[in-house]
Copies of this chain bind each other. A is one copy, B any other.
Amino acid sequence: MSDTANKALLPTGLRDVLPPDAALEAVAVNRLLGVFAAHGYDRVKPPLIEFEESLLDGVGAVTTKDTFRVMDPLSQRMMGVRADMTIQVARIATTRMVRHPRPLRLCYAGQVLRVKGSQLRPERQFTQAGIELIGADTPVADAEVIGMVIRALDAVGVRDVSVDLMLPPLVPAMCDALQLSPEARRTLRDALDQKDAAAVKAMGGDVAGVFGVLLGCIGEAEEVLSRLQAMDLPAAAAQRRDTLAEVIALVREEHPAATLTIDPVEYRGFEYHTGVSFSVFSRGVSGELGRGGRYRAGEAQERAVGATLSVDAVTEAMEPLSSGPRVLLSVKDRLLAGRYQTDGWVTLNALQDPQDFAAEARRLGCSHYSVGGDLHAINDKQG
């Protein structure tokens, strides 16, 4: 992105992905969706734009400010360019595929656009890839989705993955049990969001006691769990905690070495989640690789779990592709392209036979050339 000509050419936050990055992204998407498909997730592809009512409906409302809008000249209604695909896939599951047997497993990949980037991430176009598991109510479903993300990242060679688990409904459940006023809830929410232990303490009484302890419960999953299990939580909150414990045990059974952490009071960005939620990170990559969790889909409020991976972040964590050896073919030898390709070569046709095949091959990044059916190495250390 240091090319100044290009900066003048493209709007802020939008970019041309060049070789070899574009190929790496395509490989990432293919491998991720390959893992999903092997687990019975069927691919769907919603359109890039649709009526804003359906795009910004329900949980989609959080993307309202992010969404580009255009007038549909045919219907004279406003359409939005999608800022997120999750909402579209939930729409498909609960409308067009409403009669398909549950649990319904769907996967997707595609581009999304945002009106503005953030200061940290100026990008305005992203590649998403994800899964939705619709009509699924058991901890096995939550564990499946979390496990699927771990597997998919493993399939693209992303190492040192950590899954940070959250429980967005826990704090509201405890506020209910403590019969907190709306104002006290807001004060508490702010304090928790800022991890401000002093502000929590200042609230005094039961609130200060129990949330003070919860605020300190951050870290390795099994350790935090045992501390949560030692707490005398109100019934609704205790049930949430027990579900989380069950999900973690199921994930652990499949992925004994996975790095799992818990932050039970984290909430920002997960407001519409109704159960266990998670963010995924990898050492060496700033920002999330993906996120997901339990929510309700569509008008019928079907129980669902999903996960979305940010393919841009995923490719940042991937090794570069190793490109195959390249051979320059003489005009006549272009007829042998298929044979070379079968043997793993990338072939480049000469568009006219050069005087110096070796020099031309070198110029085009080839290690070999083929003339009269014979393969020649160019004996170049750079080749």
Contacts and interface: CB of A to CB of B under 8 A. Distances in A.
Contact of A51 (B9, B42, B54): B9
A363 B101 contact: yes
A234 interface: no
Interface in A33-48: 33, 37-40, 42-48
B141 A351 contact: yes
Contacts of A363: 101
Copies of chain A in the complex: 2
Nearest to A74: B12
The dominant DSSP class at the A interface is mixed
Contact of A138 (B73, B341, B352, B364): B352
B351 A10 contact: no
A116 B70 CA distance: 13
A109 B30 CA distance: 14
B5 A95 contact: yes
A140 B349 contact: yes
Nearest to A328: B40
A49 interface: yes
Contact of A113 (B12, B23, B48, B77): B48
A16 interface: yes
Contacts of A101: 363-365
A324 to B, nearest CB: 8
B6 A96 contact: yes
B334 A254 contact: yes
Contact of A47 (B14, B51, B352): B14
Given A47-B16, A73-B116, A74-B12, A337 B26 contact: no
A16 B74 contact: no
Interface string A1-36: 001011001111111111111110110001001000
A294 interface: no
Contact of A331 (B15, B75, B136, B140): B140
A79 interface: yes
A138 B351 CA distance: 6
Contacts of A110: 111
A370 interface: no
Given A9-B91, A12-B75, A16-B92, A25 B38 contact: no
Nearest to A38: B341
A18 B44 contact: yes
B20 A42 contact: yes
Interface in A227-271: 253-254
A72 interface: yes
Contacts of A91: 9
Contacts of A106: 19
B364 A125 contact: no
A325 B144 CA distance: 20
A30 B17 CA distance: 18
Given A16-B96, A49-B125, 16 more contacts: A10-B51, A11-B51, A11-B75, A14-B50, A16-B46, A17-B44, A18-B92, A19-B42, A26-B33, A38-B347, A39-B349, A40-B347, A47-B125, A48-B81, A48-B125, A103-B351
17 contacts: A9-B50, A9-B95, A11-B49, A11-B72, A14-B49, A14-B50, A16-B96, A17-B45, A18-B97, A26-B43, A26-B109, A39-B349, A40-B346, A40-B347, A48-B48, A70-B70, A81-B81
